[in-house]
Chains A and B, each alone.
Chain A
């Protein structure tokens, strides 16, 4: 009986030690610096992946008039009458259908000035969807 008892005891002690060792763990969790670098770049990680995809497109196609931050202060804005609207803030358009049709068919299609061109034939559906998502995210910003 004695060896068996000893054995049981040994197993119990080992199990306890193992569970204790597991619980303490390493002090600092190893990170993913590459992922962090990309997240940090995309406006402090504030944007989701799809929004940041939209941001890339916005900067290329829209920012000249609408401004890098979407505040309607792009370098070409002063040439426009009426000027481009501020897209930030809670009052900015959020409706997917509305945003999609403005981007796809141009501002004239929603009864506004013809100055914002239709992108439906130049950009893919995917790109327009990203832009819509990004425009929605602008609503989270404080207006100018």
Chain B
């Protein structure tokens, strides 16, 4: 009997059902694989390609129907964005919609895709082959989703480490603000090594400021002076009182003797004239206008003591050895008038002198103030004898952009948890992040805070291969010796001018080749009574009240040392034909749009009537030919002049004054 050994029919039904189910499930797997997003995207591209005119040979050859990836072992990246962005490097696809459109701009020729890939700039998950996982929008478990274009410059900064990266205005501005506010005084910030930020020395502040002002200032510097670079440390009244006592006890050096000054005889009108002549506004702002190198003077009269100001104007370097402020050569009467003017004009002038409160003699209060001073890291920015350099008080910002956003505090702010937002809030409102913070509130505008945050968001943990990094080394310090060195120190030339990149950038004339640019006699004369070469520029060279010998020393040093031989070898014997041709060129090129010659013309560039007396012809010709080689940021356009044309213009500009009036803005 075989009966009992045949499988029951019910099992056959189950078997058939399972078999069919198996087949269906397997078909589902095939369907799942065959209909991936990128496959349908490539199919769409295939249909679109037919309608695009003149696709590039490469795009035609592009193997539509396969994954495309850029493998960058150096950067540890694999970018498969090209799987869907198929027209990205072909100009023929400029007008088609995403994702097939050409990459805008010339970014792909300056940053070829096979060297830079996509995600180093854009972020996102480069290995993904579908829209969602590529993290076009934030995704769970993708630490860096694609950046919106507004903040993409943070990624420029990862490679472009120089302070002024090209075509990244927000990043550049952020970095400028970091330098301006000296963030690196309290934080170690990669890329800003070697830079120093110094607040005024406090060694003799007890003689300098009024105690009432100090309390107001310490309470909130921004409220007193919106342009203040010092932030609000959110001090308690007790802290302010003790700090005030401690600071007023700092009396290392009494001011210079001014007992012989008869303040009643002060001539405020003369003071006002001096104020203009010394070009104080080049560095100091009053009522919101003027330079930013020195402190704002709007309320100077309420801030400092008169004797101190007199003494300081007489010799600023005595109390503030690091100050960019120059030492004018003024008589005591001139100083008296100037001081008086400043007090009258820029102060409520309740009392010109104010005896300090006795608190500064309270040893307990002073000690308490000293503790506050130390605890809040005041020494990071201000020098004070007796305090050793304790290093930076704030945490290092190295790798800040790679901090885990979920571990960072956000306080009560309802924001998406990203490192960007954390940095932004920390810069803007350091005290709202739900943690006690000793970082002062700088009172940045949201836009400024965002740009600073953007600059900081470029500081990544992992370093890039050196071949990708664009860095500009910090310039070597320039400290000349001898008589010239003393003058440079006294007049603080390097506050505005630079040598090999070292020094200030207020002036558009670095010293590097100044001996070949300017005529010696012109320099000697100009230093004694500097006039305005550029009408439209507010920051101008001050009248130093130099003595002629000093001017001569400088002019000779320029002519001997700061020489560019290639500019010196220039045949300056011009023919009349050349001069005429130069005049014609001057008109035809539209130079008068920006330059004044005689009485006509614009005032964007320097006035040109006295060019011949000021500039050496070799320099004029060189400058006109390639202005950007000498100053990359100049507004002077490169006209691509031929040597003959440049020579003709040089001939015309260095020619006699008689021709000048005709060079004006004649149609």
Contacts and interface: CB of A to CB of B under 8 A. Distances in A.
Indicate whether A and B interact.
Answer: yes
Interface of A: 28, 30-42, 48-50, 53, 56, 60-61, 64-65, 75-76, 79-81, 106-108, 113-122, 124-127, 129-130
Interface string B447-464: 101110110000000000
B637 A121 contact: yes
Given A114-B589, A115-B590, A75 B415 contact: no
Interface in B616-659: 627-628, 635-640
B451 A75 contact: no
A121 B640 contact: yes
Contacts of A108: 588-590
B104 interface: yes
A129 B417 CA distance: 35
A106 B590 contact: yes
B150 A53 contact: no
A64 B535 CA distance: 13
Contacts of A124: 106, 166-167
12 contacts: A32-B416, A53-B167, A53-B169, A56-B169, A64-B604, A79-B593, A79-B596, A79-B602, A80-B593, A81-B665, A117-B593, A121-B639
Of A49, A79, A116, A119, chain B has the most CB atoms within 10 Å of the CB of A79
Given A114-B589, A126-B107, A33 B604 contact: no
Nearest to B444: A37
A39 to B, nearest CB: 6
Nearest to B414: A30
Interface in B390-432: 413-418, 420-421, 423-425, 428
Nearest to B154: A34
A40 B150 CA distance: 11
A114 B587 CA distance: 8
Contacts of A118: 637, 639-640
Contacts, number: 143
B66 interface: no
B167 A37 contact: no
B275 to A, nearest CB: 24
- Residues of B in contact with A, size category: 35 or more
A30 B447 contact: no
B414 A31 contact: yes
A75 B536 contact: yes
A54 to B, nearest CB: 10
Nearest to B638: A121
Contacts of A35: 148, 150-151, 420, 450
Given A32-B420, A79-B602, A37 B447 contact: yes
Contact of B105 (A37, A106, A116, A129): A129
B215 interface: no
Nearest to A128: B106
A30 B450 contact: no
B593 A33 contact: no
B603 interface: yes
Given A32-B418, A38-B451, A126 B167 contact: yes
Contact of B635 (A38, A39, A61, A81): A61
Nearest to B633: A60
Contacts of A122: 627-628, 636-638
B149 interface: yes
